[in-house]
Amino acid sequence: MEKEMRYAVLIDADNVASKYTKFILDEVSNYGIVTYKRVYGDWTRTNLASWKSMALDNAITPVQQYSYTTGKNATDSAMIIDAMDILYSNNVDGFCIVSSDSDFTRIAIRLRESGMHVIGMGEKKTPKPFCIACNAFKYLEVLAEEETQEAPERDKVEFKTLESAIIRIIAENANLEEEINIGELGSRLQGRYPDFDVRNYGYSKFSQFLKDFDCLSFRQVGSSILVSQKSDKTDLSRVEETLAAIVRGNGTKGYNLGELKKQLCSKIPDFSVKTYGYSKFSRFVDNLPGFKIKNNTVMLSE
């Protein structure tokens, strides 16, 4: 049996609201066992009052850190020192650093250099360098939205960027059939974009997220899903050849248009006329060279 990963969860109370506590702990539990749970702040300040009860209810150890100098964040230093102490204790396999502060970028890099798996969590305002420094970064608002089932709006530019990255990954890592396992695709995409999470776009599964990209094709092999990039030319030739074989197999009588579509879809499950810019199957077939339609019957042109 594979050993479960052990994580240290370190929370910056100065930069993270206590309302996210449940979502933080639930998310880390998807990766492994939470061994350390600590929240850092100056507990003499009234603005951290909500964290006191939340820490007690979730068995999180509050770590007192006085603000020695106005304008300086002593909490960051305390978290960083503790992170290094925990690292050298050899009691964990990874860290979850919860903050929206870019000051944790260097410690995230340092922990990864020591072989730790680093999960970052913060609000959407978190500077990009900290997000990229982690193995994976989760936005707290998204984790909370998932609970209330409020899907965030899609960013078209972001979608286009991800589409380009997915196509590159397939091209660089595909097998001889120009396909890649969906699991490997997801891992490589996460490696390029640590803050990537399908929940950011209102999905619960990576497979459902991918199906929104018209440029991709899918093939089920046993329990595995293989993903490839659609090639209009290759796909169209394949469709034409399949249609011709079906119609030819019925002799000179031709083939009923509706039945022809059913037969085609059974042989090419991912076929859609929308891929080729049509809204109707009849219009698609009528514009193919070598085919003609008469009285709702498809025949091969002489």
- Per the CB < 8 A criterion, the answer to whether 137 and 119 are in contact is yes
Please give the Cα distance from 70 to 73 (Å, whole number).
8
Helix (H, G, I), strand (E, B) or coil at 295: coil
Question: Chain-centre distance of CA 121, in angstroms?
Answer: 15
CB-count exposure of residue 20 (10 Å: 0-12, 13-18, 19+): buried
Please tell me what DSSP assigns to residue 199.
G
Among 237, 287, 280, residue whose Cα is nearest residue 261: 280
pLDDT value of position 179: 87
pTM for the structure as a whole: 0.64
Mean pLDDT of 152-163: 71
Residues constituting the chain: 302
Show the tokens assigned to 112: 């990864």
Instruction: Please provide the average confidence, as pLDDT, over all residues in the chain.
Output: 86
The model's pLDDT over 87-131, given as tens digits with 9 standing for 90+, comes to: 999 999 999 999 999 999 999 999 999 999 999 999 999 999 999
The model's pLDDT over 14-44, given as tens digits with 9 standing for 90+, comes to: 889 999 999 999 999 989 999 999 999 988 8
Q: Which domains does the chain have, with CATH numbers?
A: 5-148 (3.40.50.1010), 156-229 (3.30.420.610), 232-300 (3.30.420)
